[in-house]
Chains A and B, each alone.
Chain A
Amino acid sequence: MKTDDLITALAADAQSVSMPIGRALALAVAGGAVGAAILFAIMLGMRPDVATAVTSLRFLFKFVVTLSLLASALGLVWNLARPGAIPVGWLLALAGVPALLAIGSVAEMLTVPPADWGQRLTGHNSFMCLILIPTLSAIPFAALLLALRQGAPSHPMLTGAVAGLVAAGIGATLYASHCPDDSPFFVATWYVIASAFMAMLGAAIGEHFLRW
């Protein structure tokens, strides 16, 4: 086939244009978040003392962290879905999340006596945290990867990893309202491990699944 012949065929297929990638991503994230919220409502629900918890800085700080993760990972994946260079600004925004956790942990060190640090870190149910964040992330993770397959990421592995972080951001935000452990020590350990697991899973899948 000559290239001119291929062009004839492509022009004949002019009407086949797909949904703009931005809309596909928005639908995937919104749909995935709704799915995760339904799963959360059925499986877990918010913790019983949520009405008093919202007055606690530690409780609110969990959402500052998880929503920062969600927002920066979303901004990054939005750009990574299209061909081009890595958007450095968004990458820096994502790096702000561990910085937030470091600040929170220092504040915790200054306000809590060292004898209590160990108990704050292990919390009540760290194991459940490791299981439940990835579980709640599963639906948005799958939806986002399917939408990204319609995209054209220049960096499939990184894009998959960031998709894992978006999903972890949704899962962790939901889980934070259930989990009784509010210490920044707890969040900086177990939430981070659960999110890193999702990122690694995303990288491993993305490397092949998101190639084009």
Chain B
Amino acid sequence: MAQLNREEEWAALMQAAIGGDAAAYRRLLESLSHSLRAATRRGFAQFGAAMNDVEDVVQETLLAIHLKRHTWDQNQPLGPWVRAIARHKLIDALRRRGRRIEVPIESVLDFLPAEEQRSDLDRQDAERLIKELNGRQQTIVRSISVEGKSIRDVAENLGMNEGAVRVALHRGLKALAAIHRRGDEE
């Protein structure tokens, strides 16, 4: 029951987010990140992968949810859509780490656990990912994420208009997702 209520809440938050409500979106992503972290840990444990880059997979999954949110059909529940994305990214991540996925991975992602699992590892590697962005994208993504500045402040500091900052931020996030994915082929 709790699972169902939570998924209904997620769907409502995602609907608001797609309408442009950044506060609702933040609440959704925070809630999702806790569940994704717990699910990813279980997936890594099942396949004996080292736990130190669970956070990498959580971030890659959050980026995928963000960049693909227009593929969620608003008439459908959000939970199965999130689980399908999480499964896709978890399988990718495990393959990248040389695990052969033979047993069905469904079991670890049957539901996204409600337990709160806070991030306890801040990987040095994540910093490396930002450093791979080009100059302006790197400045903008870093200012908004790590330094927590508003788009307006960043625009003022860089002498750009807000629209241009928004475009650069979006492109930067897309580039981050591509950098994550490139790890697959290495």
Contacts and interface: CB of A to CB of B under 8 A. Distances in A.
Contacts of A10: 25, 29, 62-63, 66, 173
Contact of B70 (A1, A2, A18): A18
A14 B22 contact: yes
Contact of A13 (B55, B71, B146, B173): B173
A212 B28 CA distance: 22
A81 B81 CA distance: 12
Given A12-B22, A15-B20, 5 more contacts: A3-B37, A8-B145, A11-B23, A82-B72, A212-B64
B33 A11 contact: no
A7 interface: yes
A172 to B, nearest CB: 29
Interface of B: 17-18, 20-23, 25-26, 29-30, 33, 37, 55, 58-59, 62-64, 66-73, 80-81, 84-85, 87-88, 119, 122, 126-127, 129-130, 141, 144-146, 148, 150-151, 166, 169-170, 173, 177, 181, 184
Contacts of B23: 11
Q: What's the dominant secondary structure at chain A's contact region?
A: loop
B44 to A, nearest CB: 16
A163 B3 CA distance: 36
B52 to A, nearest CB: 14
Contact of B85 (A8, A14, A152): A152
